[in-house]
Structure 1
Amino acid sequence: MRERGRRRRLLGLGSRTGGALLKHRLGGQADWRALGEALFEGLSELKGPAMKLAQIMAQWDDLLPADLADELARLQRQAEPMPWGDIRRTLENCYGDPATYFASIEQRPFASASMGQVHRASTHDGETVVLKVQYPGLAEVLEDDLRQVHRLMRLGRWLRMPQVRLDALFEELAASLRGELDYRAEAEALARYRARYAQRDDLVIPEPLPALCGPGVLAMRHVSGTPLRELEGADDATRQRLGTALADWLTEELFTHGELHADPHAGNFAADAEGRLVIYDLGAVIEVPAERLKAMMRLLEATLAGDPMAMDEAVMTLGGRQGQGAPLALYRESADAVAPLFQPGPQDFGDVRVHRRLRELSPKVWAAMDRLQPPADTLLLSRTLNGHYWNLVRLGARLDMAARVRPLLAWASS
């Protein structure tokens, strides 16, 4: 009965979203703020895959109408917590009596997300730890939720994306969401990343505590920090240090280790008291094969050269645009929009002129999806990199991107 009620609510939210999109396509004025408020209230309560999809969409803040994007962004920082009684059941399933392991557990979470929420706790030794607690019953409703999300994603046809690409994108998303329920894998990822970056003094990654982990609970040492989204008013030196650390880490992660932290919303990053970049939540890590990176770098090289024919060839090498009719004008406009970030010397990611052009370009790119036809894994990778780009924008980072990409372009050509 509960699952049927959940399904009806998801379908109702989907119908309301579809109605707004149809009205917009027909030239009407959709009330994006009202739609966003309805989605926030409904998804905040329901949690799960649909809320996660909305959080992902909120990261495409250069695509969505501003009022809708603002409301969906609240899901990343203001989602309603699940009642303590429900969370306690998960803790009891893991520990029996939680008092055996903990002197106290804060009932009010300090972070609530789509698949779980985070509570501070104190051990009997006086150590502060954090417990990431999976929402009870989520594993049981996941597959039904995914079916409803699949129906919602078919609204992507308003972007003229082929159904086969939408289905492939859904399978990528579904695999990611199923993986996020595996807290054992996330604990292993935390340990792997801590070992991998142990020599870097500009990064902090929480330490998992295997002895306190169990079904539906991931325990970590507490690492306090100021969330990245609250750092826009921090002093310039701190923001530049964090921006450099983020860019260096992403480059090493991709081009040395072939992996990428795939949940880039600002709540997953912070600055500790020493100004180091704190990286939270490794529940979503994707592999990025070297050949995929090389193909993307060849596309960047053609873009920086302002060569639309070479851009089209690179898009086809990536697995997209297999039909006729290269959108050469769109390629030229894309090259013009991207070029300022790659001029010699430090470029300001806080320069509104740059990302205003990128915002103006994004709807044109999406309108051409039926011609570009990017493969699903490229869409997800692009979404992730786009999220990291906007984190650099929030920090107002100044980076010499020309110098950064020069050796990577040479590597891609080797």
Structure 2
Amino acid sequence: MRERGRSRRLLGLGARTGGALLRSRLGGQSDWRALGEALFEGLSELKGPAMKLAQIVSQWDDLLPPDLADELARLQRQAEPMPWPRIRESLEAQYGDFDRVFSEVETTPFASASMGQVHRARTHEGEIVVLKVQYPGLADVLESDLTQVRRIMHLGRWFKVPQARLDALFDELVESLRGELDYRAEAAALARYRARYADHDWLVIPEPLMGLSGERVLAMRYVPGTPLRDLEAASDDLRQRVATHLADWLTEELFIHGELHADPHAGNFACDEQGRLILYDLGAVILVPESRLKPMIELLQATLEQDAMAMDTALRKMGGRQGEGAPLALYRESAEAIAPLFAPGVQDFGDVRVHRRLRDLSPRIWAALDRLQPPADTLLLSRALNGHYWNLVRLQARLDMHARSQPLLAWANGIS
């Protein structure tokens, strides 16, 4: 009965979204703010795949109507928590009588997400830990939820998104969600990253407590910090330190370790009182083989050289651009918009002129996707990099991207 009720609610939210899109396409007015509020309230309660999809889409800052994007972005920072009695079910399934393990568990979470929420607890030895608790019953409804989400995603065709891209996004969502249900795998990832970056004194990764972790609960030592999303009012010096750490870490992840953190919403990152970068969540990490990375750098090089034909060649080498007729004018305009971020010297990621130009280009890029046809296996990588870019924007980072990019371009060209 509960599963059928969830399906009806998901279909109802999908129908409301489809109606708003249809009115907009026919030249009418849609109340995107009201739609966003309805989606926020409904998805906050339902959790699971649909909420995860909305979080993914909300990270495409240049895709959605601003009022709708603002409301969906709240799912990353203000989602309604699941009531404590339901969370208690997961704790009891994991520990039995959890009072034997903890002297106190805070009933109010300090973070809520699509698949679980985080509670502070204290052991009988007095240590403060955090418990990432999976929502009870989520594994049981996951597959039926995904069926409804696939139907909802067909609405993406109103944005002229090719079916192949929608299918790739759905496959990404399925893989991500099934992976996020495996808390033991995330505990192992935390341990691996702690060992990898043990000598990085500017990077903090919480220690997983293997003896207290299991299928439904991930236990970690408590590491206090200020989330990136709350640093807008912080001092410029602190924001620049954190932005530099984030850029350095991403570069090392990609070009030394061949991996990338693929869930870049700002709540997964924080800084401590010393200005160190904290990585809270490693539930989504993807492999980035050299065979995929090199063509992407070649595309970047062609873009910075503002060579439209070379951009088209690079995209073809990546496995995209199957349609006829290279959109050379669009390539040129995209290159002109991106190149300023890589000009010699320090560039300001807070420069609204750059973002405005990229936003203005977005509708044309989406309209040309039938010709561009970016390769499906780069979808998650592109989305993750886009999300990390917007984190740098929110930090108002000032970085010398020209100097940072030169070794990468040389690497792609085989120059030692």
Q: What interval of TM-score do these two structures reach, taking the shorter chain for normalisation?
A: over 0.9
State the 1:361 CA deviation: 1.5
Asked if the contact 1:121–1:128 (Cα under 8 Å) also holds between the matched residues in 2, the reply is: yes
Alignment of 1:375-390 (within 5 A): 375-390=375-390
Corresponding residue of 1:6: 6
State the 1:379 CA deviation: 2.0
Asked if the contact 2:164–2:376 (Cα under 8 Å) also holds between the matched residues in 1, the reply is: no
> Is residue 300 of structure 2 the alignment partner of residue 300 of structure 1?
yes
State the 1:167 CA deviation: 1.6
Q: 1:95-130: per-residue Cα shift (whole Å, max 9, x none)? A: 011111100000000000000000000001111000
State the 1:215 CA deviation: 2.4
Residue 133 of structure 1 aligns to a residue in which SS? strand
Alignment of 1:262-411 (within 5 A): 262-411=262-411
Residue 133 of structure 2 aligns to a residue in which SS? strand
Residue identity in the other structure for 2:193: Y
CA distance, structure 2, for counterparts of residue 191 and residue 96 of structure 1 = 26
Corresponding residue of 2:21: 21
Corresponding residue of 1:96: 96
Asked if the contact 1:186–1:282 (Cα under 8 Å) also holds between the matched residues in 2, the reply is: yes
Asked if the contact 1:117–1:135 (Cα under 8 Å) also holds between the matched residues in 2, the reply is: yes
CA distance, structure 1, for counterparts of residue 406 and residue 69 of structure 2 = 35
CA distance, structure 1, for counterparts of residue 290 and residue 225 of structure 2 = 34
Asked if the contact 1:110–1:119 (Cα under 8 Å) also holds between the matched residues in 2, the reply is: yes
Q: 1:228-248: per-residue Cα shift (whole Å, max 9, x none)? A: 111111111111110000000
Corresponding residue of 2:130: 130
CA distance, structure 1, for counterparts of residue 76 and residue 172 of structure 2 = 21
Residue 218 of structure 1 aligns to a residue in which SS? strand
Unaligned runs of 5+ in 2: none
State the 1:263 CA deviation: 0.6
Alignment of 1:152-167 (within 5 A): 152-167=152-167
Alignment of 1:36-75 (within 5 A): 36-75=36-75
State the 1:169 CA deviation: 2.5
Q: What's the TM-score, normalizing by structure 1?
A: 0.99
State the 1:362 CA deviation: 1.6
CA distance, structure 1, for counterparts of residue 135 and residue 45 of structure 2 = 11
> Identity over the aligned pairs, expressed in percent?
77
Asked if the contact 2:323–2:370 (Cα under 8 Å) also holds between the matched residues in 1, the reply is: no
CA distance, structure 1, for counterparts of residue 394 and residue 39 of structure 2 = 25
Corresponding residue of 1:198: 198
RMSD, aligned CA: 0.9
Corresponding residue of 2:83: 83
State the 1:367 CA deviation: 1.4
Corresponding residue of 1:168: 168
- Return 150-159 or 294-303, whichever deviates more: 150-159
State the 1:26 CA deviation: 1.6
- Return 17-26 or 246-255, whichever deviates more: 17-26
Residue 278 of structure 1 aligns to a residue in which SS? strand
Q: Matched residue pairs, number?
A: 414
State the 1:164 CA deviation: 3.1
Q: What's the TM-score, normalizing by structure 2?
A: 0.98
CA distance, structure 1, for counterparts of residue 319 and residue 15 of structure 2 = 33
CA distance, structure 2, for counterparts of residue 148 and residue 154 of structure 1 = 10
Residue 256 of structure 1 aligns to a residue in which SS? helix
CA distance, structure 1, for counterparts of residue 259 and residue 8 of structure 2 = 38
State the 1:376 CA deviation: 2.1
Q: 1:23-79: per-residue Cα shift (whole Å, max 9, x none)? A: 111222111001100100100000000000001111111211110011001111111
Asked if the contact 1:3–1:141 (Cα under 8 Å) also holds between the matched residues in 2, the reply is: yes
| Stretches of 4+ aligned residues off by more than 4 angstroms | none
